[in-house]
Amino acid sequence: MNRPSRQEGTIRCFHDGECPLCRLEIRAMRRLDTQQNIDWIDLHSGHPEMAQAGVDKSSAMAALHVVDANGTLLKGVPAFLLLWEQLPYYRRAAALIRSADLRRCSHSGVR
């Protein structure tokens, strides 16, 4: 569930709440987000933050969209890496991908 108001410094993740696979993945990440560093915003909610961030539903349905704490919009693999850096267990995967610069080859499979 989304928090009532966005805290300064939180990351906003725009996700497809109607996709069964997406729901499973987001649910797993939400459980790990014990510090509540991430606002989880369903694309189908019509949330005003979508327009404020410049996120349109059709492009966000094709690739994960995340807005960082500074307001920068990230899409696809960079968006996943930012999310993962906030979460225990996933942090190691994000660090490995960044250090090995596996981002180039990961772009072909993850959106």
The predicted structure's pLDDT at residue 97: 85
What is the rounded distance in angstroms from the CA atom of residue 99 to the CA atom of residue 101? 5
Percent of the chain with pLDDT over 70: 82
Per-residue pLDDT band at 98 (split at 50, 70, 90):
confident
Q: Alpha carbon of 45 to those of 16, 49, 75: distances in Å?
A: 10, 10, 19
Per-residue pLDDT band at 10 (split at 50, 70, 90):
confident
> What's the whole-number average pLDDT of the chain?
85
**pLDDT (mean) for 43-60:** 90
